[in-house]
Amino acid sequence: PIAQFKKYPSDVRLKMYKNLSNGRREGMFIFGKIQYTDDNGNTQYLKDHHDQYTLDLRDAVGKFGGTDGSKWLDKAASRLEDGDDNSGWMFAKYPLYSDNEEDQQFEADYCEVRLPEIIYSLAECKLRKGDMSGAAKLLNSVRKRNYPSSDWSTVLYAPEGAATLDMKEMLAEWGREFFA
């Protein structure tokens, strides 16, 4: 799924996830070395589940162990049994709040339908009916929040931008917007 996001490199969701507090956050993915502050106020790095090496998550599957995140294996099979704790980016679809932010904590059974889901459903209907321009405008109304305005000419779907919309791209867009 990361490749679908990397198709548009300026996507703000590609940033490292960070809780900015007060109900705000940025990014959606967790990758690289993951810092945290321990009970004594010291900066630490997350370790693997055996506490043997510092995690350095990368967008690949392999037995990386304690190797630096810039190192890649010469030959790596991409099967579940060939991976370790450093294999693959993690994602934070829903915010992770500290215990101090009780006003941001909700029950696990809280359910909602997001307006973008309705907009994407209508856009797909328009696309299937042949109204590519109408579908693109609907999708762009949601997509604009994920990219800096300086990139809209390349990342928005035509006629508002240069990106091409077809059924395959519609499926990829569903995946990017409603990932996980």
Question: Is omega for the bond preceding 95 within 30 degrees of 0, making it cis?
Answer: no
- Secondary structure of residue 26 in the 3-state scheme: strand
pTM of the predicted protein model: 0.68
Instruction: For the chain, give every domain's residue range.
Output: 115-177
Question: In tens digits, what is the pLDDT along the chain, a chain of 180 residues?
Answer: 688 888 899 998 888 888 887 778 888 899 999 988 888 999 999 999 899 999 999 888 888 888 887 777 777 666 777 788 888 888 887 766 667 766 666 666 666 788 999 999 999 999 999 999 999 999 999 999 999 999 999 999 999 999 999 999 999 999 999 875
User: Do residues 101 and 24 touch, judged by C-beta distance below 8 A?
Assistant: no
* Residues 52 and 141 sit within 8 Å (Cβ to Cβ): no
